């Protein structure tokens, strides 16, 4: 027992508003991406929220100060009420973003979304080569995406192209960047895969080598020089190759609020995996109370929850101990230091994964990739799988 700590108030600091609302409208998706962050047990998700529920969530979140609204999934175009929700969000003063694979984006829906006031579309591409793209997404969608990109530009939307980068496509990064420019994207996110959910199952096959990353960064830098203001390129560095963790979600319950298809409110996409935490549902609690009062959102706010080595670390404000999900997955404790940090006693687990990637061990190649899909999801019961198993 430690007297000074006992009297120290444990109330987390009062956060600002939930500026970012991510509405995950559905887990249904025509793609089967091997790096998807949707939960592996998504097929067990009970009923999706009804239109009226989402309209209420939008109004409550806006009243609580949310200003960016992302409609995501799964594939949000599979919700037939998408236009109704976008129209309401627009009317409320949100900046509305649609995060889509482009499947289901017909001319008619493009017109309806434009009329509803949609501000921006983020289109995801898996790769610039159709063969690899189709292999990675398990569908023949590449030509369709080119068509969708043309429609987006034609309607005058700004376009962010998003491409998840990993071992199997990182060597084509020059062609990915060139294609984004060709299609007229204003922004390109080269998001190195983060190892959660389906990506965690496939981690050994997806983790690039250090040499691959260095080459990709060099090429990205060259392309930035070449294209200048025509496109802004964001290269999201993979944290496994670092020695300090990322400031995950810019802080737990700090700016970001996700509502999942069944109405569960989460401080990040994957937080539902954390044990011993009850996350509220928008069917039972309004957004303001969820944000400011629920146990799920308060648990890892600030730094009062930290253990060593984080608690006494001079850098703790900088990264807030990293990612709670990664701490749970790799160190078995959501309150531990993120094992990406070389001060973490579990750092060797990250190092070992990177070393396997460096060696390109046969096991990496021989184990089949696990494609995201409802049958695979039903086969894998929640929580029973070891990381990468």
Partner 1 sequence: MSETATIGLDTTPRVSKRFRLQWEEAQQAWVLLYPEGMVRLNQSAGEILRRCDGARSVDEVVADLEQAFATTGLEADVLAFLELARKQQWIDL
Q: How far apart are CA 34 and CA 63, in angstroms?
A: 37
For position 229 contacting partner 1 by CB under 8 A, the verdict is: yes
For position 290 contacting partner 1 by CB under 8 A, the verdict is: no
For position 17 contacting partner 1 by CB under 8 A, the verdict is: yes
* Distance set, CA 201 to CA 36, 42, 197, 237 (Å): 10, 14, 7, 20
Compute the least distance from the CB of residue 92 to partner 1, in Å.
Answer: 12
For position 132 contacting partner 1 by CB under 8 A, the verdict is: no
* Closer of 156 and 383 to partner 1 (Cβ): 156
- Taking CB under 8 A as the binding criterion, the range among 14-22, 73-81, 132-140, 325-333 that sits at the site for partner 1 is 14-22
Q: How far apart are CA 22 and CA 11, in angstroms?
A: 26
Q: DSSP characters for 149-172?
A: HHHHHHTT--EEEEEEE-TTTGGG
For position 67 contacting partner 1 by CB under 8 A, the verdict is: yes
CA trace torsion 30, 36, 42, 43 (10° rounding): 40
Q: Where are the alpha helices (DSSP H) in 183-268?
A: 197-201, 203-206, 210-227
For position 101 contacting partner 1 by CB under 8 A, the verdict is: no
For position 225 contacting partner 1 by CB under 8 A, the verdict is: no
Q: How far apart are CA 194 and CA 98, in angstroms?
A: 21
The residues pairing with 265 across neighbouring beta strands, listed in sequence order, are 259
Among 39, 70, 253, 267, binds partner 1 (CB under 8 A): 70
Compute the least distance from the CB of residue 73 to partner 1, in Å.
Answer: 16
Q: How far apart are CA 181 and CA 149, in angstroms?
A: 11
For position 186 contacting partner 1 by CB under 8 A, the verdict is: yes
Among 26, 38, 97, 100, binds partner 1 (CB under 8 A): 97
For position 95 contacting partner 1 by CB under 8 A, the verdict is: yes
For position 119 contacting partner 1 by CB under 8 A, the verdict is: yes
The residues pairing with 163 across neighbouring beta strands, listed in sequence order, are 125, 190
Q: How far apart are CA 161 and CA 183, in angstroms?
A: 9
Q: Which residue's entry shows tokens 């007297």?
A: 3
* Closer of 157 and 328 to partner 1 (Cβ): 157
- Taking CB under 8 A as the binding criterion, the range among 91-99, 110-118, 172-180, 273-281 that sits at the site for partner 1 is 91-99
Among 32, 75, 76, 120, binds partner 1 (CB under 8 A): 120
Collect all residues with Cβ–Cβ distance below 8 Å to 200 and sequence separation of at least 6. 329, 387, 388
Among 26, 100, 122, 197, binds partner 1 (CB under 8 A): 122
- Taking CB under 8 A as the binding criterion, the range among 51-59, 60-68, 198-206, 305-313 that sits at the site for partner 1 is 60-68
Q: How far apart are CA 63 and CA 67, in angstroms?
A: 10
Handedness of CA 253, 257, 263, 269 (dihedral sign): negative
Compute the least distance from the CB of residue 132 to partner 1, in Å.
Answer: 26
- Taking CB under 8 A as the binding criterion, the range among 16-24, 147-155, 191-199, 200-208 that sits at the site for partner 1 is 16-24
Compute the least distance from the CB of residue 25 to partner 1, in Å.
Answer: 17
355 closest CA partner among 187, 203, 210, 220 = 210
For position 160 contacting partner 1 by CB under 8 A, the verdict is: yes
Token representation of residue 340: 């990406």
For position 321 contacting partner 1 by CB under 8 A, the verdict is: no
CA trace torsion 169, 170, 172, 176 (10° rounding): 90
Size of the site for partner 1 (CB under 8 A): 19
- Taking CB under 8 A as the binding criterion, the range among 62-70, 164-172, 276-284, 375-383 that sits at the site for partner 1 is 62-70
- Taking CB under 8 A as the binding criterion, the range among 114-122, 170-178, 261-269, 374-382 that sits at the site for partner 1 is 114-122
- Taking CB under 8 A as the binding criterion, the range among 76-84, 93-101, 167-175, 368-376 that sits at the site for partner 1 is 93-101
Q: State the Cα angle at 94 between 91 and 100, rounded to 5°.
A: 105
* Closer of 158 and 304 to partner 1 (Cβ): 158
Helix (H) or strand (E) holding 208: none
> Where does this chain bind partner 1 (CB under 8 A)?
16-17, 19, 64-65, 67-68, 70, 93, 95, 97, 119-120, 122, 158, 160, 186-187, 229
């Amino acid at each position: 027992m430690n007297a000074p700590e006992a009297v120290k108030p444990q109330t987390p600091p009062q956060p600002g508003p939930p500026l970012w609302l991510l509405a995950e409208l559905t887990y249904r998706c025509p793609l089967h991406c091997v790096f998807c962050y949707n939960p592996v047990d998504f097929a067990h998700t009970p009923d999706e929220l009804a239109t009226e529920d989402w309209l209420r969530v939008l109004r409550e979140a806006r009243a609580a100060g949310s200003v960016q609204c992302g409609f995501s999934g799964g594939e949000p175009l599979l919700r037939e009420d998408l236009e109704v929700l976008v129209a309401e969000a627009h009317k409320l003063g949100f900046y509305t973003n649609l995060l889509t694979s482009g499947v289901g984006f017909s001319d008619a829906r493009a017109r309806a979304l434009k009329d509803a006031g949609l501000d921006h579309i983020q289109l995801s591409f898996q790769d610039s080569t159709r063969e690899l793209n189709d292999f990675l997404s398990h569908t023949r969608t590449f030509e369709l995406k080119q068509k969708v990109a043309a429609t987006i530009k034609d309607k005058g939307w700004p376009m962010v192209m998003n491409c998840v980068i990993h071992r199997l496509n990182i060597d084509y990064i020059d062609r990915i960047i060139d294609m984004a420019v060709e299609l007229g994207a204003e922004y390109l996110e080269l998001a190195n895969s983060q190892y959660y959910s389906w990506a965690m199952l496939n981690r050994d096959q997806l983790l690039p080598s250090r040499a691959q990353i260095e080459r990709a960064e060099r090429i990205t830098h060259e392309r930035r020089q070449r294209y200048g203001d025509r496109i802004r390129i964001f290269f999201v560095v993979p944290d496994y190759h670092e020695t300090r963790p990322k400031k995950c979600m810019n802080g737990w319950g700090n700016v970001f609020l996700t509502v999942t298809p069944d109405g569960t409110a989460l401080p990040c996409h994957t937080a539902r995996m954390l044990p011993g935490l009850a996350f509220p549902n928008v069917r039972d609690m309004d957004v303001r109370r969820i944000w400011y009062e629920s146990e799920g959102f308060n648990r890892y706010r600030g730094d009062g929850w930290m253990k060593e080595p984080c608690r006494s670390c001079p850098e703790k404000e900088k990264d807030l101990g990293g990612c709670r999900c990664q701490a749970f997955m790799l160190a078995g404790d959501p309150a531990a230091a993120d094992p990406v940090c070389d001060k973490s006693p579990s750092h060797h687990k990250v190092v070992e994964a990177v070393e396997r990637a460096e060696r390109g061990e046969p096991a990496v190649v021989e184990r089949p990739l696990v494609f995201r899909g409802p049958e695979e999801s039903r086969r894998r019961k929640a929580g029973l799988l070891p990381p990468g198993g």
